[in-house]
Amino acid sequence: MKKTAFLFFLLMAWISGTRAQDTVQPEYRTVEFYLGVQPGLLPVPFDEFGRYAFDVNVVPLTIEYAFNGHWALRIHSIWDVQFRPEFPAVFSKAGVELTLPYYLPARSNEIGHRGLYAGPLVSPVYDRLNNYYELRIGAEGGYAFLFGNQWSLALAGQVGLNLQFDPKNPFMRTIPYSLPRISFGLWF
């Protein structure tokens, strides 16, 4: 029985290895515009009892324009609604996120926006609930998958500083932050 299972495993490995060698290299086309969604769910401490409210981005549209095979400009909308315990949901934040990702291709002969990327980001946001402005300055790094030379999935993380400006207070609060990001959509 063990010998049969081992021979079956060797046969399957040989078949899959020969099939992998016969694949045709896909033809890459240059992509220019990306339209996708980048959902956001952010837990926010709500009270001293350890309960959390959740900010949910209800219009998570992402537009990206590719300057060339490596550089792009990404614009992401922020329209958060906060769901709080025992209170009705309210509109909490509005803003935009601007990122300049630089894509590092996996192989030197590849073009297009796939593989590892990193870039600076800036995000001005108005917090309606607390009546202050915030400016997020940071960096985003991640990996972009490209399927069929059109569909894209990006898994990333952001780190940086959140500068909070209250119009009634002369002092500025500086808060470090880190966020996971996932984005999926189409390249045109």
Q: What tokens were used for 104?
A: 């590092």
DSSP letter assigned to residue 50: S
Q: Please give the Cα distance from 150 to 128 (Å, whole number).
A: 37
Q: Which fold has domain 31-187?
A: Porin (2.40.160)
The label of the residue with tokens 């614009």 reads: 75
Q: Residues 56-90: pLDDT tens digits?
A: 889 889 999 988 878 899 999 999 999 988 889 99
Which residue, 128, 86, 123, 120, is CA-closest to 101?
120
Q: Residues 3-49: pLDDT tens digits?
A: 665 555 655 665 555 444 445 555 555 567 888 888 888 887 878 88
Q: Please give the Cα distance from 135 to 8 (Å, whole number).
A: 60
Helix (H, G, I), strand (E, B) or coil at 19: helix
Quick one: how many helices (H) and strands (E) in the chain? Answer: 1, 11
pTM: 0.75
DSSP letter assigned to residue 26: P
Q: Which residues pair with 42 in a beta bridge?
A: 55
184 band by pLDDT with thresholds 50, 70 and 90: confident
